[in-house]
Amino acid sequence: MRISHFLPLLAGALLTAPLGSTTASAAPIAEAAPAAKPAAITRIDPTFWWVGMKNPKLQLLVHGPGIGSSTATLNYPGVTLDGVQKMASPNYLLVNLTIDPAAKPGKIALQFQGSKKVRYEYELRARNTDPNRVQGVTSADFVYLLMPDRFANGDPKNDVIKTTNVSRVARDSMYARHGGDLKGIEQHFDYLKELGVTAIWPTPVVENNQPKASYHGYALTDYYTVDPRYGTNAEYVGFVKNAHAKGLKVIHDVVLNHMGSQNYLFRDQPAPDWFHQWPGYTRSNFRDAAFNDPYASTMDRKLFGEGWFDTHMPDLNQTNPLVATYLIQNFLWWVENTGLDGYRVDTYSYSDRNFLMQWGAAIMEEYPKIGLFGETWVQGTAQQAYFAQNIFPEVQGFKANLPGVTDFQMYYAINETLTKDAGWTEGINKLYYTLQADWMYQDPMRNVLFLDNHDLSRYYSVIGEDFQKYKMGLAWLLTSRGIPQLYYGTEVLMKNFSDPDGKVREDFPGGWPGDKKNLFVAAGRNAQEQEAFRYVSTLANYRRTHPALHSGKLMQFIPDAGVYTYFRYSDAGTVMVMMNSGKDEKTVDLARFDERLAGFSSGVEVTSGAVLADLKMAKIPGRTAWVVELRK
């Protein structure tokens, strides 16, 4: 996620402020709320829990007017009350429990005693014991990134929810809600399967009840609730189950660094130290280099990690152990409740370093198969590798445990390949040098490759709508190492520049009744759109069934005269990829590649079926990528 798409809307905007503040344009110094008479509990987070979690400890955050003055008791076999803890706000009380593995599922009767008694039944559930429920995300997957609000509207009845701050649909506004939802995605599972997709990554589906630009989901207002305009919690559980039945995994997009200003935890803050507080609104400097710069000033580092991402995105203080526990429990809760397969972590590098290690360890301990990758929009491979599991010892108290990252360095390299002429290190040679730096990662196959995403100008526009270059980029995406990710609509040539970001977040044509075009079906596509879809589908489905491409070894040869050749190989077969980035045809002496060609006599280009009968010399046209299955 990046900041630019909020600026036109939010500069000087007056938002509903938390208690003790007058506006959200400045981060408040929280004041003690006035004493309130004890009343019914409004909520407890986590909303329910399970018997048999590896960590038996559970921290309940109880919220209700005046509840902080209460004591708590319970009597439930196998559940021990370890004590309660008051917060700065009288409207919160922490209840600490230990749940024995032998405890039985049921309703725990929590009794709160203040000036009057309050009773709350807290549900303890049985865990799902299916060993294949959380499948993880691997290099064998092909990930499809979409924005639920902009993909398809499957249930018009949830378009307008009157209790939300944005209770209207306006498809002609790039910042308004458009009506897309979980049901709309589900109705197009077959489309995604035809394309060769194996995993769906929706941008955040949790509640975002902000008054502006709430459609993107990155300013969450309730950690435990699906946005009602997308569906219900039960429907999301069904969505994951139905995706699995179709052979599709689900990646849940999460934000660790900040929340939305309309979140109840910010409007009525448990304590001032739950957030990074400043005398006046202070934005992050967005300079991740300060995170580990050995020469960084204290202020630069503080601004990066503690400055707010935007006026309506309060920055969480993860050095507070209560905040850390709250976040960790929430992300365990979503996995256990839904069976999701992986997490994509937004703005990963902005979070506290010790917290990142603690969060990653807790998630992986409970769900060792889960897929985890973080957004690392940084400069330089060394900086990117710093945030992933790497070969380096602990640096300044930080040792990354994140398996993979969004590979912006490879994104920069493929863009340079397709937009600049080859030089000693420029153009297509940047691909070679970027991949050469993979020695820094423990396993670069866990990095996520992409041509564009919801924050970037669309790929087809960046390359000047050059269809030959389009195919080159897709060939690279689906044959290089790592986990390929496609942004929705790239397969049918959706285009535009992120000036502002809303222009690259347009509705998928055909996702709404009455759309003039329907690109979900072949009959609705023009010849070039159909050719683009066919090209992606052919390569993706070939990749899915050929282990050499998705999990085999990689050998690359230094580009020569603008032609870059690499091989993916395993016991199951060998694929040669040759990319000519120049505009003119090149004759390539294949004898240079004998160490990988030995034993093969011919090859077949996967997307066209053309036969390469001679493995001694090849003439590859300009602006062309060949994906050649070698034959003996």
Residue 571 scores a pLDDT above 90: yes
Residue 394 CB contacts under 8 Å (≥ 6 apart), including other chains: none
Strand 143-146 to strand 483-487: parallel, antiparallel, or no bridges (unpaired)?
Answer: parallel
Domain boundaries of the chain, sorted by first residue: 43-126, 553-631
For residue 2, pLDDT beyond 60? no
At 36 the pLDDT is: 44
Q: In what order do the strands lie in the sheet with 602-605?
A: 553-560, 563-570, 573-580, 624-631, 602-605, 611-612
The reported pLDDT for the residue numbered 131 is 85
- Determine the pLDDT at residue 18: 34
Is 245 buried (19+), middle (13-18) or exposed (0-12) by CB count in 10 A? Answer: exposed
Alpha carbons 53 and 49: distance in angstroms, whole number: 9
> In sequence order, which residues have a C-beta less than 8 Å from that of residue 242 and are 6 or more positions away?
186, 189
pLDDT of residue 389: 97
Average pLDDT over residues 232-254: 98
pLDDT exceeds 80 at position 373: yes
- Strands 404-405 and 371-374: what pairing? parallel
Calculate mean pLDDT across residues 561-569. Answer: 98
- Predicted confidence at residue 38, as pLDDT, reads 47
Q: Identify the CATH class of 43-126.
A: mainly beta
Is residue 127 pLDDT above 70, yes or no?
Answer: yes
Mean pLDDT computed over 36-65: 90
State residue 132's pLDDT score: 85
| Domain pair 43-126 / 553-631, same fold | yes
Contacts of 562 (CB under 8 A, 6+ apart): 421, 422, 427, 428, 580, 581, 582, 586
Average pLDDT over residues 257-262: 97
Q: What is the mean pLDDT of residues 78-101?
A: 97
Contact 415, 462 (CB under 8 A): yes
User: How confident is the model at residue 86, as a pLDDT?
Assistant: 96
Question: Mean pLDDT throughout 564-580?
Answer: 97
Determine what percent of the chain is predicted with pLDDT higher than 90.
92
Say if residue 19's pLDDT is above 60.
no
Confidence label for 39 from pLDDT (cuts 50, 70 and 90):
low
Running DSSP on this structure, what letter comes out for residue 395?
Answer: B
In the structure, what pLDDT confidence band is assigned to residue 395 with cuts at 50, 70 and 90? confident
The whole-model pTM stands at 0.93
- The C-alpha atoms of residue 317 and residue 332 are separated, in whole angstroms, by 20
> Contact, 220 vs 255, CB < 8 A?
yes
The 3-state DSSP composition of the chain as helix, strand, coil percent (nearest 5) reads 30, 25, 45
Q: Which residues are catalytic?
A: 346, 375
Q: How confident is the model at residue 1 (pLDDT cuts 50, 70, 90)?
A: low
Which residue do the tokens 């190989």 mark?
569
- Which tens digit of pLDDT belongs to each residue from 301-328? 999 999 999 999 999 999 999 999 999 9
Give the mean pLDDT of the chain: 93
State the CATH architecture for 553-631. Answer: Sandwich (2.60)
pLDDT in tens, 179-198: 999 999 999 999 999 999 99
